[in-house]
Amino acid sequence: MFTNKFKLFSISLIAVWVVLLVKNVDIPIYFGTDAQFVGFSKLLTYGNFIALASAIMIVIALLSLHQLNHRLQGSPDTLKNTLTEVSDRSVEYVNVLATVVTLISVILVPTETLRDFIVFLLLMTVISICFMRTNLYYSNPLFAVLGYHIYTVGSESNKLPKGSIAISRKRLIVGDKVVSYHISDNVYSLDK
């Protein structure tokens, strides 16, 4: 249903989705004996719309993470390839941290009025497009927290061409035999 790139994008921003959900959800709750339903008009707010969208993205991210973790345990895209080139690029996690801090600051934009809501949507759209178009989704520090490493790899096979970007939970060295799962463009998930 969703592209692999979108799935990794949703995983890489899961912390943002959680913060947006907590910040914006506004459901009046009262547990007294005289409790009554407040009506849908109190629930249909800009903040609750953002909270609902964030909850949906959290579910998509968790399902995508589950699929990413278990994808290579099934049938891989190809037979095992022998790595002929491996270069660790995990330092990119630090470089993208500034982008994540910028994204977190966007979350602080108020969303009470229609104008604020539109500004928030425009900022999130621009940031999302930048993440998706520049392939920054794979170098998000959240993947480091989840135990993934970034590599530039190459093999003799066309299924894993030289200069490919790989994310892997395992440490990779030249000569390792790996199975690959194509995510998008030149980005792959590898497992030994």
Model confidence at 138: pLDDT above 80: no
Q: Which is more confident, 99 or 70?
A: 70
Q: How far, in Å, CA of 79 to CA of 75, rounded?
A: 9
* Phi, psi for residue 127 in degrees, rounded to 5: -65, -40
Is residue 130 within 8 A of residue 103, CB to CB? The reply is no
Q: How far, in Å, CA of 5 to CA of 133, rounded?
A: 10
pLDDT on residue 1: 44
pTM (two decimals)? 0.71
Model confidence at 183: pLDDT above 70: yes
pLDDT digits (tens, 9 = 90+) for 32-61: 777 777 677 777 888 888 889 999 999 999
pLDDT digits (tens, 9 = 90+) for 139-176: 777 777 788 888 889 888 888 888 888 888 888 888 88
pLDDT on residue 75: 55
Q: What is the DSSP letter of 106?
A: H
Average pLDDT estimate for 120-145: 77
Residue 150 exposed, middle or buried by CB count within 10 Å (0-12, 13-18, 19+): buried
Q: How far, in Å, CA of 160 to CA of 155, rounded?
A: 6
What is the number of other CB atoms lying within 10 angstroms of the CB of residue 183? 22
